[in-house]
Structure 1
């Protein structure tokens, strides 16, 4: 009987140790990489690089965009930029992330927008291909001029 209790106690102790290790382990990012950069050409509005930051929560994902390709000619209030980021999905199709959330942007500063919301599935590989920004009724269409580095977002 004593051996039975010892075995049960050892099994319970090992189980508790495994559970505590899982609880204390740092949370892994669901999307990799979490940050990427890409070049954009925005016609007469300019060209430049963009920083992309992605997050995921289940099938919901967000991407924040900050680009030097477009600068604000005047102060832009928070929430005044309506944006749509189109991404190539798994090398062939496309998906879009959109929203009208942005911080206040001082005149002359690069445009920042997001988080832009979209839906993803496990295994999706997404790479930015174009960006559409509407500010004060003015539409700016940007096209990617380089591959996303360090690579596509993998969800």
Structure 2
């Protein structure tokens, strides 16, 4: 019967685990981040109201999402979850535009600010996006909002 020496098995196992871990890390996709993660700006939505909005952006590769809550529009009635359709238009790299769209929202109680998102869009590395307008459709009624300030602390950079 052959006996294993305690030192060799421990070293071999540790070496195997280290190599497997290094290989896994090398194959993992690079983490991407958008900065800033949160920004604020003001919207004027005509007779629906005006006020501040908070935008929260996330990124996973070329896919990005932006969630939005705005005091510019408040709901006069209870609104069910996933019943708000929104389109957020952003300037892209200072010249063109891009849109983030979605039909997801939490339930919104009467008198509360409208929250919508995640709104989805596609980005490329280095894209700089700043919100310029928002269209919100609730129960067939459309509110169109124009940005009246720039995003603070600045555009989202992906």
How high is the TM-score relative to the length of structure 1? 0.83
Q: What is the CA RMSD across the aligned residues, in angstroms?
A: 2.2
Q: After TM superposition, what 4+ stretches of structure 1 lie above 6 angstroms from structure 2?
A: none
Find 1:67's aligned residue among 70, 80, 84: 70
Residue 76 (structure 1) aligned with residue 79 (structure 2) = yes
Structure possessing the higher radius of gyration over alpha carbons: 2
Offset at residue 41 of structure 1 (A): 0.3
- 1:81-114 deviation digits (Å, cap 9, x = unpaired): 0000000000010000001000000000000000
| CA 117–67 in structure 1, closer or farther in 2 if over 3 Å, else same | same
SS of the equivalent of 1:73 reads: coil
Q: What is the count of residue pairs matched by the alignment?
A: 139
The offset of 1:30, in angstroms, is 1.2
What whole-Å deviation, never above 9, does each CA across 1:53-103 have from its counterpart, x for those lacking one?
A: 000011100000000000001000000100000000000100000010000
Q: What CA distance in whole angstroms lies between the structure 2 residues aligned with 1:72 and 1:120?
A: 31
Q: Using the alignment, how far apart are the partners of 1:65 and 1:40 within structure 2?
A: 12
User: In structure 2, what is the Cα distance between the partners aligned to 1:107 and 1:29?
Assistant: 37
Structure 1: tracts of 5 or more residues without a match? 1-11
CA distance in 2, matches of 1:108, 1:29: 37
TM-score, normalized by length of structure 2? 0.82
1:122 matches 2:95: no
1:141 to 137, 144, 149: 144
Match of 2:42 in 1: 39
Match of 1:90 among 86, 90, 93: 93
Q: Indicate the residue corresponding to 2:5 in structure 1.
A: none
Structure 2, unaligned runs of 5 or more: 1-14
